Structure 1
Amino acid sequence: MDTLTQRAAVPASWRSTKTYGHEEGLSCCFRQWRATHSHCQLLHGYALSFRLTFASSELDERHWCFDFGGLKPIKAWLHEMFDHTLLVAADDPSLPEFQGLAASGLAELRVLPAVGCEATARYAFDYIARYVDMSTGGRVWLEEVEVREHSGNSAMYTPNGQSRGISASS
């Protein structure tokens, strides 16, 4: 069991959230090439929103769960990854065409292991969880990431179903 998983198994007494809303301007384009039954296989985009849930069993000396001022590198990373970018899955059969667009200066291409709201939540979680662990010395852990495409669609990622009383065996 890795350190992040062990910490997530510790009961949290405190939780706090940080939201980068749709107004943040994380306008991102992607496609789900495997969705051959729907228009989601086509290029489309959203102003993504990210909601981060932090947890800790103890507060710091300021009586905070997490110091939101320490998230500047995360905000910068979110903009680098999702602000006016094109997300394409590494196994997309049209990847060479998208790479050509990037080479021509027509797209800021980001090649990810997978695309979609759920995959984006997992990708963001994995990056942000490492940062939170490192920056707090393990006192705080990232419990969940929610990604919203718009007010009607969102996906959440929580490792091993640790959040909201869900167990991995449920």
Structure 2
Amino acid sequence: MLTCRKVYADIPFAHRQHRHSGHCAHIHGHSWSLSLTFACKELDRHGFVVDFGGLGFIREWIDQYLDHACVVGADDPELSWLKSKNGSVFKLFVIENASAEGIARHLHAQLDPLVRAKTEGRGWIAEIELHEDSRNSVRFVP
């Protein structure tokens, strides 16, 4: 297996962890960084795991769903109110779990099928590392 890594840095978005007993229960933001490790068993015709120049669809996905968004959990007790403010106060993005761990897992579930389709099944996402900031990160390895 061969791997390569692409980093998407300085992605501004907020999240809320409503179950947390501290300040993380409030909507708060970070400048996130996303590191994707791609893998394959066979290189493409150019000798690449993935062609970094052909990954614009990932940046488009990030821009559409995460850039300046507010990520909340599907079971957030304030979800109805949050949805009522979507588009006027913030760009809402609802996922199963809005922790960094949950976001990393969600990113894999969304992006891995896109990578597999783009590479015609030859490549996949082997690991996601998501940084909230320079001190805190999570790794998701499926």
Q: 1:32 aligns to what SS in structure 2?
A: coil
Match of 1:75 among 42, 50, 59: 59
Cα deviation for residue 100 of structure 1 reads 2.0
What fraction of aligned residue pairs are identical, expressed as a percent? 35
Who is 1:148 aligned against?
A: 131
1:18 aligns with 2:10: no
Please identify the structure whose Cα radius of gyration is greater: 1
Partner of 2:18: 33
Higher strand proportion, which one?
2
**Counterpart residue type for residue 83 of structure 1:** D
Equivalent residues, number: 142
Q: How does 1:81-92 map to 2 (within 5 A)?
A: 81-92=65-76
Q: Which residue of 1 aligns with 2:48?
A: 64
CA displacement, residues 20-47 of structure 1 (integer Å, 9 cap, x when unaligned): 012xxx21111100102x1110110011
Q: Which has the higher helix share?
A: 1
Cα drift, residue 109 of structure 1: 0.8
| Cα shift at 1:128 | 1.1
Please state how far the C-alpha of 1:68 moved relative to its aligned partner.
1.0
Helix, strand or coil for the counterpart of 1:45?
Answer: strand
> Residue 98 of structure 2 corresponds to which residue in structure 1?
115
> Which residue of structure 2 lines up, in the alignment, with residue 95 of structure 1?
79
Tell me the residue number matched to 1:42. Answer: 26
In structure 2, runs of 5+ residues without a counterpart are none
Match of 1:156, as an amino acid?
R
User: What RMSD in Å do the two structures reach over aligned CA positions?
Assistant: 1.1
Q: Tell me which residue corresponds to 1:124.
A: 107
Q: Which runs of 4+ in 1 moved over 6 A?
A: none
Cα distance between partner residues in 2 of 1:138 and 1:101? 39
What letter matches 1:142 in structure 2?
I
Give the 3-state SS of the residue equivalent to 2:89 in structure 1.
coil
For residues 111 and 78 of structure 2, what CA distance do their matches in structure 1 show?
29
Partner of 2:120: 137
